[in-house]
Structure 1
Amino acid sequence: MGATDTKLKERIKELTCLYEVTSIIVNSDYDRLETSLEAIAYSLKKACQYEDQAEVTLVSGDYAVKTDGFQPTKTALKSEIKVFNEVNGFVKIGYPSGKYSVSDFLKEEQILLNNVSLAISNLLERKQIHDSELAVRRKMEHSDRLHILGEITAGIAHELNTPLANILGFTELLKDRLSDKEAVRDLQKIVDNAIFSREIVKKLMFFACEMPQNINVVQLNPIVENILNLLAPSLGKKKIKLSKKFSSDDVQIRADTVQLTQVLFNLIMNAVYYSPVGGHVGLVVVENGNHVQIRISDEGPGIDPKNKDRIFEPFFTTKPLGEGSGLGLSVVHGIINSHKGSIAHERNNPIGTIFTVNFPKI
């Protein structure tokens, strides 16, 4: 075969490869991108001058694909994959190192490799945009659902307040009129359950943002210390080892004292609840740039990955029936948002969960 025929053959292979790569990208499923990248690798292999000897590998972010016979020791051409101008990986074409050198590659092969890596870069950029749009849409849908639920909840809470007050009032009157100790004990159970129900109503009203705020500059450290004093019996009962650290003796934020207490009480109580007997709970308060950061860590079982996006949903709980209303973290989330703060969670090392709360610094 003459030199002209050889060049023509190679040119056809290159154009065929580019057409195949374009087709693969157009028909890519963003949820199964690894399959598309593997198809691109095999298409690139077919376009090489020595197709039977060539192998291809492609590495980018969470993706790593290669043709069957690729070895790291091969003599290879390489082209970088860039996603939004940041190097995110590479594509390599390799020949057996004992048989071929870099000079055996055609100049056109490097050009083809660069074009394919550019096409892959565009594909990965589009996937990131798609994922971001999907996350924003889900967040908006979630926000709409919470808004509707908040309006419904506020109405329910208002409706429940009056009958609960009546139950408590009339039960206390009956207790004063009865001398039967057993009957009084039963009435006390009614009182206790009514008070418990009233607390749930309060949480509903917090969640629905129906509780008026009284925002002032507050000293954070004394509030934390008061909460820890309140929780001392719970810590002692489970023999929890508590460590606390304050970056300063005078940490101040603008907050509603009652709501801030509720946020920290819920988070620390959850950490105690999920920690094993003799476990460790850590509390760190630091001033971080324009924010005051509070980190609460535990050694519990951690958050199941399938629940990580649901833990702030109202009425969602992993606690046994009767031990949790599923409102604690949703109320916490709502209060923190109303204070223009943020809350996030991550895995603790080696086990457990860390909740991080950020409040704007004064």
Structure 2
Amino acid sequence: MHMITAEEKLKERIKELTCLYEVTSIIVNCDYDQVEDALKGIMHCLQKAWLYSEVAQVKLISDQYNIATPDFPDDPVYLESSVKVFNKKVGGLQVAYPRPKYNEDDFLKEEEKLLGNVCLEVGNLLERKQIKDNEIIIKRKMERADRLGILGEITAGIAHELNTPLANILGFAELLKTRVTKDTQASKDVDKIINSAIFSREVVKKLMFFACEMPHQMSLVNIGPIIANAVNLMEPSFKKKKIVHELNLGDQPIFLRVDTIQLTQVIFNLVLNAIYFSPVKGKIGITVKETNGNIQISIADQGPGIDPKTRDRIFEPFYSTKPVGEGSGLGLSVVHGIIKSHKGTIKYRSNKPKGAIFTVDFPKI
């Protein structure tokens, strides 16, 4: 490395100060939806600030990004500094020269300090992005909870309003049937009315589950046998699609205060959904475990998963991703209502490499 004159040193300080100013400007004006573009701009600023700027190349590797300038060398000599987000290392920034023309002595001490300062700024940017992302997630969850709450109130009102006329339809249809015994066609028509009224009453019952209006028969039970029985009842459905299912209940009994019939409904609905969306010869995993004072039930399938665009609507009544005629759209809303009334939560995440995992958490009271 050649000796640097006072004039060259001054030029280097100006380049470094200019770099810091430009980096700060990029971050101040950064749109959080275009953070990658901002990072590329910061990397370009770093290139210009180095002593041999015409050959300097920059690379950023982190848990979210892997960006390098176009001519980053295969066998570089480089300076590196850590990028930290909330005091945790998430990656690093490298500024490199190509070997063998350049070596470690070609880097200036001031450049090492500059890289450290830029890494601090990049860490601050990524921190702010993470805070913003978390705010958006929390806002969406609150909006979803508000929407489901309003739907619950409306649904409860509708269910109560429908209960009385349905009871009247059913009662008078039963009376009418006793009077038309000689007219075969009329008797068949009355049977259709009765069956339709019973079906409608079941829909109302499901709406009341969603609205948390159904009474509980709560008792402290070992939930393992209840879940095992519910899964065993679905054996014909598993065999029909040649689906392999694994039930993992652990070695110890797991006790929970729960309405056993409603818990069975939750398992039925979630497993039947998993069977419906699973490919032939697919695999479904049902796992029950106790963690941090919670009882967790997970049901994983290998189906197509859920489109991110519709993910927030899957627990709404009458919303279904199944073809018309194959689903009422009440399965998951019933599950949501039962779990909510037991003070629990249900979450969805993608299965890897494909499929869906529904996780139900019940507090162990």
Identify whether the pair has TM-score above 0.5, normalized to the shorter chain.
yes
Task: Give 1:265 deviation, angstroms.
Answer: 1.5
Q: Select which of 92, 101, 108 maps to 1:90.
A: 92
Kindly tell me: are residues 181 and 348 of structure 1, through their superposed partners in 2, closer, same or farther at Cα, counting changes over 3 Å? Answer: farther
Amino acid at match of 1:177: R
Residue 247 of structure 1 contacts residue 287 of structure 1 at CA under 8 Å; is this kept in 2?
A: no
Instruction: State the partner residue of 2:170.
Output: 168
Residue 144 of structure 2 contacts residue 312 of structure 2 at CA under 8 Å; is this kept in 1?
A: no
Kindly tell me: are residues 312 and 71 of structure 1, through their superposed partners in 2, closer, same or farther at Cα, counting changes over 3 Å? Answer: farther
Instruction: State the partner residue of 1:32.
Output: 34
Task: Give 1:278 deviation, angstroms.
Answer: 4.3
Task: Give 1:356 deviation, angstroms.
Answer: 2.2
Instruction: State the partner residue of 1:227.
Output: 230
Task: Give 1:215 deviation, angstroms.
Answer: 2.5
Give the Cα separation in 2 of the matches to 1:142 and 1:314.
Answer: 13
Q: Select which of 259, 263, 267 maps to 1:260.
A: 263
Task: Give 1:227 deviation, angstroms.
Answer: 2.0
Task: Give 1:342 deviation, angstroms.
Answer: 2.8
Kindly tell me: are residues 20 and 146 of structure 1, through their superposed partners in 2, closer, same or farther at Cα, counting changes over 3 Å? Answer: same
Kindly tell me: are residues 50 and 277 of structure 1, through their superposed partners in 2, closer, same or farther at Cα, counting changes over 3 Å? Answer: closer
Aligned length: 362
Residue 292 of structure 1 contacts residue 359 of structure 1 at CA under 8 Å; is this kept in 2?
A: yes
Mapping of 1:319-334 within 5 angstroms?
Answer: 319-334=322-337
Task: Give 1:138 deviation, angstroms.
Answer: 1.6
Instruction: State the partner residue of 2:143.
Output: 141
Give the Cα separation in 1 of the matches to 2:157 and 2:261.
Answer: 23
SS in 2 for 1:306: coil
Instruction: State the partner residue of 1:154.
Output: 156
CA deviations 1:203-228 (Å, max 9, x no partner) are 21111122223322122123223323
For structure 2, the 5+ residue unaligned runs are none
Q: Give structure 1 regions of 4+ aligned residues with deviation exceeding 4 angstroms.
A: none
Mapping of 1:349-360 within 5 angstroms?
Answer: 349-360=352-363
Amino acid at match of 2:89: V
CA deviations 1:91-150 (Å, max 9, x no partner) are 111111111111111111111111100000000000111111111112112222222221
1:69 corresponds to 2:36 = no
SS in 1 for 2:309: helix
Residue 77 of structure 2 contacts residue 98 of structure 2 at CA under 8 Å; is this kept in 1?
A: yes
Give the Cα separation in 2 of the matches to 1:295 and 1:67.
Answer: 44
Residue 221 of structure 1 contacts residue 249 of structure 1 at CA under 8 Å; is this kept in 2?
A: no
Task: Give 1:357 deviation, angstroms.
Answer: 2.0
Kindly tell me: are residues 249 and 40 of structure 1, through their superposed partners in 2, closer, same or farther at Cα, counting changes over 3 Å? Answer: closer
Mapping of 1:76-225 within 5 angstroms?
Answer: 76-178=78-180, 179-225=182-228
Percent of paired sites with the same residue: 59
Task: Give 1:283 deviation, angstroms.
Answer: 2.3
For structure 1, the 5+ residue unaligned runs are none
Residue 228 of structure 2 contacts residue 247 of structure 2 at CA under 8 Å; is this kept in 1?
A: no
Residue 248 of structure 1 contacts residue 286 of structure 1 at CA under 8 Å; is this kept in 2?
A: no
SS in 1 for 2:245: strand
Kindly tell me: are residues 351 and 47 of structure 1, through their superposed partners in 2, closer, same or farther at Cα, counting changes over 3 Å? Answer: closer
Q: TM-score, normalised by structure 2?
A: 0.92
Give the Cα separation in 2 of the matches to 1:79 and 1:268.
Answer: 49
Amino acid at match of 2:285: G
Indicate the larger mover: 340-349 or 13-22. 340-349
Give the Cα separation in 2 of the matches to 1:349 and 1:141.
Answer: 28
Instruction: State the partner residue of 1:309.
Output: 312
Residue 216 of structure 1 contacts residue 256 of structure 1 at CA under 8 Å; is this kept in 2?
A: yes
Indicate the larger mover: 126-135 or 327-336. 327-336
Amino acid at match of 1:215: M
Q: TM-score, normalised by structure 1?
A: 0.92
Give the Cα separation in 2 of the matches to 1:249 and 1:220.
Answer: 11
Alpha-carbon RMSD across the aligned residues, in angstroms, is 2.2
Amino acid at match of 1:333: H
Mapping of 1:213-292 within 5 angstroms?
Answer: 213-248=216-251, 250-292=253-295
SS in 1 for 2:313: coil
Kindly tell me: are residues 327 and 288 of structure 1, through their superposed partners in 2, closer, same or farther at Cα, counting changes over 3 Å? Answer: same
Kindly tell me: are residues 96 and 238 of structure 1, through their superposed partners in 2, closer, same or farther at Cα, counting changes over 3 Å? Answer: closer
CA deviations 1:191-248 (Å, max 9, x no partner) are 2222222122112111112222332212212322332344344344444443323213
Amino acid at match of 1:311: I
Residue 79 of structure 1 contacts residue 90 of structure 1 at CA under 8 Å; is this kept in 2?
A: yes
Residue 287 of structure 2 contacts residue 299 of structure 2 at CA under 8 Å; is this kept in 1?
A: yes
Give the Cα separation in 2 of the matches to 1:156 and 1:132.
Answer: 36
